[in-house]
Amino acid sequence: MKLYSKQQMIVTPKQFHKVYKENKKLRQEVEILKEAMSIITTK
């Protein structure tokens, strides 16, 4: 996690969209990992 100073908190919509998309992708990967782990642990 990156720490930003207050000055750098001003984000353009383009940057925000990019970060948002990356976060969404990360969340999906986490969900897939969780599912995989639950499948492994139930066997």
pTM: 0.53
CA-based nearest residue to 19, from 34, 32, 5, 9: 9
11 CB contacts (<8 Å, ≥6 apart)? 19
The tens place of each residue's pLDDT in the chain, 43 residues long, gives 565 555 556 678 888 889 899 999 999 999 999 999 999 888 7
| Residue keyed to tokens 């908190």 | 9
Determine the Cα–Cα distance for residues 27 and 13; give it in Å rounded to an integer.
Answer: 21
Q: Which two tokens stand for residue 26?
A: 């990360």
pLDDT on residue 42: 84
Would you call 2 helix, strand, or coil by DSSP?
Answer: coil
| Residue keyed to tokens 């383009």 | 14
pLDDT on residue 34: 95
